[in-house]
Structure 1
Amino acid sequence: MAYPSAAQSSPPRQPSVKVILTSADVHRVVDRIAHQILEKTQGAADTVLLGIPTRGTPLARRLADRISAFEGISVPVGVLDITLYRDDLRRNATRAVGPTQLPSGGIDGMRVVLVDDVLFSGRTVRAALDALGDLGRPASVQLAVLVDRGHRQLPIRADYVGKNIPTALAESVKVTLAETDGADEVRLYGEGHNS
């Protein structure tokens, strides 16, 4: 009589998935961050929002839209591509360089709020700071993120955080947005998930 091998008898283990933020949650979080920016910047005076692609760009535009809806203030929005400033260029596959689009007034003397979806090691933000240094001299730089998952490798913290999610290093956080992915959601995947 033949006995099934262990590989045949037990199916591969699927990584766990937990929805952290629903679409409605994402909208509430963006509203809250917009209010915090207004409060901390005295009504967004001399403030520019720069989105870090991919998902930081639509988040920056949403924040500007919400600030306009709340206060009738038009906050300039731009895009800051950090591809050439990343410290992992030699180790990872070639990336296409995207456009950096600064608001027409530039960033000199302005308060720049960098906007990204997930804060993890801090290396993306470090690259963004290096890129900013080549583009102008802002009066100050702040950071707004939808999710802070911890595990910093550099001394960087966000000024505005939508949701702190304690994670294990083996876990991954996936943000989807309507503009880039067709729906708003934040999910936490267990070990074994390939992003």
Structure 2
Amino acid sequence: MAKPISFFFLLVSSLTLTLTLIPTKGEALDQGFLGNKKEKLTHFRAYWHDIVNGQDPSSVLIMNPPKNYSSTGFGLVRMIDNPLTLGPKLSSKMVGRAQGLYAASSKEEVGLLMAMNFAFFDGKYNGSTITVFGRNPVFEKVREMPVIGGSGLFRFARGYVQARTHEFDTKTGNAVVEYNCYVLHY
């Protein structure tokens, strides 16, 4: 009988300790670690290259829906490691990669759930990321998705991206999408 009681005591003790470390409602977070940094808005543009075929695809199929199940591709899932470039040509200067996944999440229209990090490896944003997570109704001219976080220079990031299809090849399935990013950060 001693083992169940000691396990219960250990569980309650660790839960109590954990709860005392979490700020309670109304408690302000000490922002001293930010120094005197002020929040700023950064706007930049990058081109996202979704390469689904060829020798070196940057987007690979993880899950394909059953044949004739849906005209919207509902259920399709792709993992991506897409180049981000300064211009619309793949030969443009590469500044980072969009890493994550997208999934066809709508039965009624071609709508994707996008979950990706823009990982930058060039210029002043080198080593920084922004995280985009949201709905992408691909046939709308402009799609807006939230930026829900970031790292490096984009720590505490929030904002949004606007996606516009620059080019889509119906034969290959490859796409180039212009992303205008508006990010608030410190």
TM bucket normalised to smaller: under 0.3
Higher relative contact order (CA 8 A, sep 6+): 1
Per the normalisation by structure 1, the TM-score is 0.23
Q: Choose 1 or 2 for highest CA Rg.
A: 2
Per the normalisation by structure 2, the TM-score is 0.24
